[in-house]
Structure 1
Amino acid sequence: MAVSGSREVDIEAPPADVLAVIADLEGLPAWSSIHKKVSVRERDDAGRPLVAEMTVAVMGITDEQVLEFAWTDTSVSWKVVESTQQKSQTARYDLTETDRGTHLTFEITLDPKIPVPGFIVKRGTKTVLETATDGLRQQVVG
């Protein structure tokens, strides 16, 4: 059963600075406790990741995954192309410039391969959403 979640946060930094932190995938384990290992396989002409391998652990479930990324000046999205624990995953950051910096919206939908108890799914989704927004904000603004 697929699970979806979204969260919004304001970051006192310009969108380009926020996207730069998101694009530094190798730096994810330093500020995202769920990311254990990250390596970029392929980059676009601007140096942004197009394909990356990650080891992610949430609520005691470890997943080895390969993600494909798509970038614009105000967003980044990705999808899982290989995963040991998920049938599918899509996620997206949308950034809107504001007077004080950036309004960020994060959305994710994932479909585990095996049945996972509802309370674990809810707690895991909350962890992912908080890391992807609050953790990112803390990394951007220091």
Structure 2
Amino acid sequence: MADESTQSIVVDAPPADVMAVIADFPAYPEWANAVKSTEVLDELEGGRAREVKFTLDAGPFKDVYTLAYDWAADGLRVDWHLVKGQMQKAQQGQYLLTPEGDRTRVTYTLSVQLAVPMIGLFRRKAEKMIMDIALKELKRRVEGA
């Protein structure tokens, strides 16, 4: 991924619990504040989502977009890329889960290319803000706080 941003957070739960929350797309609007709705468009055998449509409202940034997911067999990584979007030309991302005893380090990597040009510095700042909020909301959801 070119011009990607990466952040990590430690969650007080095993990787399977963290991945279960990441994979539960219908529940995103309950805990991910900017996500207004989700729709699983296609599933893999076993029930994991292959394609998901999101409606996002993050203040000045609103978008409806579809992401395609690739789930690692070991349950410790999920990658995704943009299939189509209104405001985005490209998006690539990854959650990597690293067990640390009874806890899990969640590393989130994201690269977004908007349809409208944006200075790289501002784009990276926006990516970091999105990731920071997403990781904190994920941690709160998994830990049940």
Q: TM-score scaled to structure 2, two decimals? A: 0.89
1:77 matched to 2:79: yes
- The aligned counterpart of 1:65 is 65
In structure 2, stretches of 5+ residues that fail to align are none
Aligned length: 141
- Find the residue that maps to 1:91 and give its secondary structure: strand
Note the 1:45-60 alignment, pairs <5 A.
45-60=45-60
| Pairwise CA distance, 1:132 | 2.3
1:133 matched to 2:129: no
- The aligned counterpart of 1:29 is 29
What percentage of aligned pairs have identical amino acids?
A: 28
Alignment-mate amino acid for residue 61 of structure 2 = I
In structure 1, stretches of 5+ residues that fail to align are none
- The aligned counterpart of 2:96 is 94
- The aligned counterpart of 1:8 is 8
| Pairwise CA distance, 1:122 | 5.0
Tell me, yes or no, if the aligned pair for 2:40 and 2:52 is still in contact at 8 Å. yes
Q: TM-score scaled to structure 1, two decimals? A: 0.90
RMSD of the alignment, in Å? Answer: 1.7
Q: What is the CA deviation profile of residues 72-126 of structure 1, one whole-angstrom value per residue up to 9, with x for unaligned ones?
A: 1111111001010111000000001111321110000010010236676355323
Alignment-mate amino acid for residue 100 of structure 1 = D
Q: What is the CA deviation profile of residues 31-88 of structure 1, one whole-angstrom value per residue up to 9, with x for unaligned ones?
A: 1111111000111122111101111123412111011001011111110010101110
The one of 108, 111, 135 equivalent to 1:109 is: 111
